Structure formats: C-alpha cells, structure tokens
Structure 1
Amino acid sequence: MTKTVTDIWRHPLKSHGREALDSVTMIAGQTLPGDRVWAVAHESSKADGSEWAPCANFSRGAKAAGLMAINSKLDDASGQLTLSHPDRPEISFDPEAPQDLQRFLDWEKPLMPEGRAASARIIRVPGRGMTDTDFPSVTLCNWASHRAVETAMEQEVSPLRWRGNIWFDLGTAWAEHDLIGKQVQIGEAVFFIRERVVRCLATTANPETGARDLDTLKALNDTWGHQDFSVYAEVITGGDIRLGDSVEVL
C-alpha cells in the first residue's frame, strides 16, 4: 500500500479553529507554519508570551466545548485571522492588534461556559507555535487508527476531533506508536517521532456543533487501555509537503 499525505491542517489560534492546507513548507525545529501561532490566555494564566507555557494557561476545547466548532482562515500576508462558528457571526481581526482584542473577546465570550476563568489576552511566543508539548511539535495522524475508533464506537467519528496536522494511512491501527524513536520522511521533510498524544475532553465535542456528544476517551480506554491518538513529531529536516506526497519510514 502506498502511504501518502491525505490532509494537512493548521490551527492558527490555539483551540480556536482549524484550516485545511494543500501544501506547507516545514522548517527544522519549528512547528507547522501558521499552527498555534497564538493562544488565548485566561485571566488566571501566568503566560506572558516570553516563553512556552502549558495548556492549562489557555482557553481551550477541553474546558469550553463550544470552541471546537470554530473554523479559521489566516491571511499570511496581512496577518488577518477570520473565525466562523455556527452560533456566532464571522469575525476578522488581527491577533496582534491591541485595538482588535476586545472585539475578539466579545465574540468568543458566548462560547465560554459559566464559572470558568474568562479569556483575557492573546499571546505569541517568538519563534515557535504554542503546542501542548514543551518542544515545537507536529501531530501526525493515522487513518487506520481512526477507523478502529469508529469501529469500536459503532459510528462515524469526525477526524477533526483530533486536531491533527498531517494525516496518512499506515494500513494498521496504532502502527504510528511503533514509529516512536524513528525517522519518517513526508514529502521533502524528515520528522523524528517523539511520543504519543494523550487525548483530553476536547475530543468529546462535536466539531460541527461544539456540543459534547461522544465519549471518545472511554472508547479508547475500554478498547485499548489507553487514551492516546496520533503521535508528536519533531521536524529535523525542513522541506515542502503537499497533498499526495509519499510517507516513508527511514
């Protein structure tokens, strides 16, 4: 079976939408360009943009399911980010413009649950995306594992629940776990596979509605004894990746 790239996704504002790409140019030691460039720090957060901070510092889908239904589009030239949601009007703004912050916070507020720390500011750490790992990571997803989850749950499951970056089909469920410690070439880029991605409550929310409607974590734990899906990889050689490019274990 020929292993090829089927999907490329980026999430410009952490936990606030996804955008499909046809191609991307990876850079060694960095996250996927345009992925988690910004994050929304809440009022209890200690993150100030000077360095990487754990996900607990940010407004995210694990705590606010409504955020999972956001779609995004980043204009790389202008820096304008456009967000859309089934329950909110479309909004375009500059995440780095102080005059746009309150407009974004007002737009997001109805999607946040009562009693949670309110979103307060948008931060950016120079030189890296705000991934959940303390190293700049790219999330690689295996369609065979996704199909196994659908079989276990006896229904279709949107792949958008996993918020992955690059998708391909290894033909065997959980084969990606066997790649940890190995190098994989995707298109022109080479990745070192670092670790599994442990999943959170964000995956229980429907990416179309933002409502929690599937217990993905229970399905993973009951069926396989873990709640992992996909792997974190580090870019060790940069280069272009396009839809249809080959995936090869080195």
Structure 2
Amino acid sequence: MATLAHIFRHPIKSIGYEEIRTAFLEEGRVLPFDRLWAVATEQAKFDGPLTGWASKMNFVRGAAAPGLMAVAARTHDDGTIELTHPELWHLRIDLDDPADQVKLMEWLRPLWAGRPAPRSVERPGVALTDQREARISILSLSSLADFGARTGVPMSPHRFRGNLWVAGWAPWAERDLTGRRLRIGPAQVEIVAPIGRCRATHANPETGVEDLDTLAALRAAHGDQDFGLFGVVTRPGEIARDDVVEIL
C-alpha cells in the first residue's frame, strides 16, 4: 500500500523548504503557500511590482547559485518566515514588510555573489512556479533511495524540491503514471507530465555544494532527465501525511 510520506512547500521561490503535516488542495491550484514570493534580480524583464506569472530567469534561483539549495524555512504562527543556512545567521522576516524585504535581499548576497543583484521581493498573487500552469509535484521515496544507491550519493528529498512524496511504490514505477489519476485522501490529482530536472539538483541540500552530476546520472539510467511527476488537482480535499495514495 502506498502512502503520503511528506508534504513540502517552498514559500519563497528557490529560497528554503519546509515540511507541513496537512494541506488543503484546491482544484486547479498549487499547494497552498508554495512559491508565493520570489526575489527578482536587476536583470528581471519586468518593471514595477509584478502582477502575474513570470519566468524563473527573472529571479534568484538554485540552478545559478547552489548555495541556495541549503536554505531551510519555517513559517511561524504570526506569518513570519525563519530562514536558516549552514553558513549564515538565522533570519526571521515578515515578507509583507518592505524593511524585512531589504533584510532578505542583503541576507542572500553571499549566496548570490557575482550575479545580477537582488532587486525586489515580488508577490504577484499567483504561484511563481517554473511552469505557468498551476501544478503540484509528486515524487517517489523508493525511486529516491534507488537513485542514491546507483550513484553512491545519499539522497535527500530536498535535492528535488518536491511537494508530495509517496512511500510504497516500486522504484521508478511512477514513470508509467502520466495520464493516470491519483486519489490522495479525499483529493484527486491527474498526472500530466514528468518533471524534467535542471542543474539545481546537483547541489547537496545540507551543504549547498554541488556533489553529483544528477542530470548525467539520470540520463545514464533512463535516457532522460526526468525525476518525479507534475499533477493537476481535479478534486479538492485536505490531505495529510500517512494518507493512502491510490492509482485510479
């Protein structure tokens, strides 16, 4: 029997991951509070406050700065977000406060050195995921463990920045699920595409240092750079860790 082992969200695009116990999935929406904010750089292709979705190339991102992959986040009851990194001080900020937005951009500078500087913190009201479409990501712990065994590098789920991690599937069985539907607790998700990976996954999320050519390892194993699935919520409902995950 397959179950939902982890639920992760990433309130600030490319800057921190956090685990939560439950989430309410809304039809046609991303995981709540996932990629709600993003930090635009001086080379961003939009002027003024962002009012809609924009490409990842406008923002601070892990593929360009592996140190970002070691940032962890924790959202407190008052709405503030605490960020930690093995080489930086703890930062607790209210991202709706302009002064705290400046603090975040200053905190990021050592991790984003030598690149177009952070310019602004954006919250356009839509999720700033890599795809314009509202999707959630679903990944397999069995595949993660097998991938680690193949490469000889222990694998953390945070290397792949996924939302929902499933325990109990056979390794790599999810690669055959595109076009199928999953029932997770009361919610249903339609699998629409595999997730093609980028260089951000080369970085160890504990250190922020690149320690594996993940893309080459995936190509050697499967002939592509896919790991995990994109899904669209087709039936809403509150999901929780340990919910049964059923393939329909």
TM-score higher than 0.5 here? Answer: yes
Once the 2 structures are TM-superposed, how far is the Cα of residue 94 of structure 1 from its aligned partner?
1.5
Name the SS for the 1:6 alignment partner: strand
The code of the aligned residue for 2:69 comes to M
Residue from 127, 132, 140 that aligns with 1:142:
140
Contact 1:86 1:209 in 2 (8 A): yes
CA distance in 1, matches of 2:69, 2:238: 29
Contact 1:170 1:176 in 2 (8 A): no
CA distance in 1, matches of 2:95, 2:65: 20
Q: Equivalent residue for 2:94?
A: 94
Once the 2 structures are TM-superposed, how far is the Cα of residue 170 of structure 1 from its aligned partner?
4.8
CA distance in 1, matches of 2:139, 2:196: 13
Name the SS for the 1:132 alignment partner: coil
Q: Equivalent residue for 1:151?
A: 149
Contact 2:186 2:238 in 1 (8 A): yes
Moved over 6 A (4+): none
The code of the aligned residue for 1:118 comes to A
Q: Equivalent residue for 2:70?
A: 69
**For 1:38-187, what aligned pairs fall within 5 Å after superposition?**
38-47=37-46, 48-75=49-76, 78-114=78-114, 116-126=115-125, 128-187=126-185
The code of the aligned residue for 2:19 comes to A
Contact 2:141 2:167 in 1 (8 A): yes
Normalised by the length of structure 2, the TM-score is 0.95
CA distance in 2, matches of 1:83, 1:189: 31
CA distance in 1, matches of 2:172, 2:50: 35
Q: Which stretch shows the higher mean deviation, 168-177 or 8-17? A: 168-177
CA distance in 1, matches of 2:50, 2:174: 33
Name the SS for the 1:73 alignment partner: strand
Figure out how many residues of one structure are paired with residues of the other and give that number.
246
Residue from 205, 208, 211 that aligns with 1:207:
205
Once the 2 structures are TM-superposed, how far is the Cα of residue 78 of structure 1 from its aligned partner?
3.1
1:58-99 deviation line (CA, Å, top 9, x unaligned): 111100111111010123x53311111111111111112212
Contact 1:96 1:122 in 2 (8 A): no
Q: Equivalent residue for 1:8?
A: 7
Name the SS for the 2:3 alignment partner: coil
CA distance in 2, matches of 1:190, 1:238: 7
Contact 2:153 2:212 in 1 (8 A): no
CA distance in 1, matches of 2:33, 2:194: 22
CA distance in 1, matches of 2:98, 2:155: 38
CA distance in 2, matches of 1:134, 1:229: 19
CA distance in 2, matches of 1:157, 1:119: 30
Contact 1:29 1:236 in 2 (8 A): yes
Name the SS for the 1:223 alignment partner: helix
Q: Equivalent residue for 1:244?
A: 242
CA distance in 1, matches of 2:244, 2:66: 35
Q: Equivalent residue for 1:195?
A: 193
CA distance in 2, matches of 1:177, 1:155: 22
The code of the aligned residue for 1:46 comes to K
The code of the aligned residue for 1:50 comes to T
